[in-house]
Amino acid sequence: MESVIFEVDLHCHTTASDGELTPSELVHCAAGLGLKGVGITDHDTIQGWKEAEEAAKVYQIKLVKGIELNTDWNGKEVHILGYELDDSSDYLRHRLQNLRDARKQRMLEIIERFRRLGITIEVQEVQKYAKGESMGRPHIAQALMEMGYVTSIKEAFERYIGRGAPAYVPRYKLTPEEAIELIRESHGVAVLAHPGIYRLEEGIRPWIDAGLQGIEVAHSEHNQEDEQRYRALAGDYHLIMTGGSDFHGEKHKPGVKLGHWGVSEDVIQQILTLAKGNTLK
């Protein structure tokens, strides 16, 4: 058995968005590695929750139901994680459907840009990789690999669909405040994801005013200095400290292994306690 450093990995993606494992496969894998808990945080969708819940009962592991929302702040990408939202909320489902519709429209615009470049990609070729509701650029990258235009997802982003590349199309994004409001109105816990990637210290105070309740301290793209910085900020602002690998699978994120970044099991209870009392005033 592969050694696992942490008890709980709170940042994982499945086939419901752009991960390689189905929700049940991910839960099974986490249990097999000896994790005590795992968080499902797919992009703009909660589609994987039900399957993951059923698997968590079978494999006797704690499940934290989550979501990851991409937002824009001063030209920087800011990701907000939401944990333990009320999945019966019509407001939540409506807003998430709008975000997924915007993803689909962006995909069509990217395909049109490829057509202008002399590369024909059919929508169906992309959709077969998007096994869940949420389609994104990684699915286009997989289609490009199959067609022989690139040899890796990384190359697809660098040559064609990354920021500044010829087929790049900016996506519709919420503001961090809008994402936090959506999570809190849905009785969830709002956490700032991997702030070390874009150095987001300046925004934290206003986002706390908007309802932010936590910071992702441990992450696969954080170094030791980042962890120390955000641990200190979380302490200063009395925010919960979460952590996770941002696991997608070896093809999507080589070297990012499930359970190798995370937190202790007691963080799950902190999240559940906050979620019980969560509504925006």
What band does 139 get if pLDDT is binned at 50, 70 and 90? confident
Asked if the structure places residue 265 within a domain, the reply is yes
Beta pairing partners, 69: 80
pLDDT tens, 114-137?
999 999 998 888 888 877 666 788
Asked if the structure places residue 96 within a domain, the reply is no
- Could you please report the per-residue DSSP string of 210-275? HT--EEEEEETT--HHHHHHHHHHHHHHT-EEEEE--B--TTTSTT--TTSS-B-THHHHHHHHHH
Asked if the structure places residue 109 within a domain, the reply is no
pLDDT tens, 60-78?
999 999 999 999 998 888 9
Asked if the structure places residue 47 within a domain, the reply is yes
Position 1 pLDDT exceeds 50: no
Position 3 scores a pLDDT of: 58
Asked if the structure places residue 168 within a domain, the reply is no
**Contact partners, residue 168, CB within 8 Å, separation at least 6:** 110, 113, 160, 161, 162
Q: Provide the domain count of the chain.
A: 1
Position 207 scores a pLDDT of: 97
What band does 281 get if pLDDT is binned at 50, 70 and 90? very low
> What one-letter code names the amino acid at 62?
K
Which of the two residues, 141 and 133, has the higher pLDDT score?
Answer: 141
Question: What is the mean pLDDT of the segment spanning 170-187?
Answer: 93
Backbone angles phi, psi at 206, to 5 degrees: -60, -35
Position 279 scores a pLDDT of: 59
Residue 196's CATH number: 3.20.20.140
Position 142 pLDDT exceeds 70: yes
Asked if the structure places residue 44 within a domain, the reply is yes
Asked if the structure places residue 171 within a domain, the reply is no
Place of tokens 């696992």: 4
> What one-letter code names the amino acid at 180?
I
The DSSP symbol for 87 reads T
Rounded CA-CA distance 166/112 in Å is: 11
Position 150 pLDDT exceeds 80: yes
Contact 66, 36 (CB under 8 A): no
Asked if the structure places residue 77 within a domain, the reply is yes
Question: How far lies 234's CA from each of 185, 195, 231, 237, 265, in Å?
Answer: 23, 12, 5, 5, 18
- Identify the CA nearest to 157 among candidates 125, 110, 100, 119: 110
Question: What is the mean pLDDT of the segment spanning 245-255?
Answer: 92
Position 4 scores a pLDDT of: 65
What range does the domain containing 202 cover?
8-90+188-276
**Contact partners, residue 171, CB within 8 Å, separation at least 6:** 70, 102, 103, 106
Question: What is the mean pLDDT of the segment spanning 46-73?
Answer: 97
Contact 130, 16 (CB under 8 A): no
Question: What is the mean pLDDT of the segment spanning 28-53?
Answer: 96
pLDDT tens, 190-230?
999 999 998 888 899 999 999 999 999 999 999 999 999 99
Quote the pTM value.
0.85
Q: Which two tokens stand for residue 81?
A: 């994680």
Give me Rg for the CA atoms of the chain.
Answer: 18
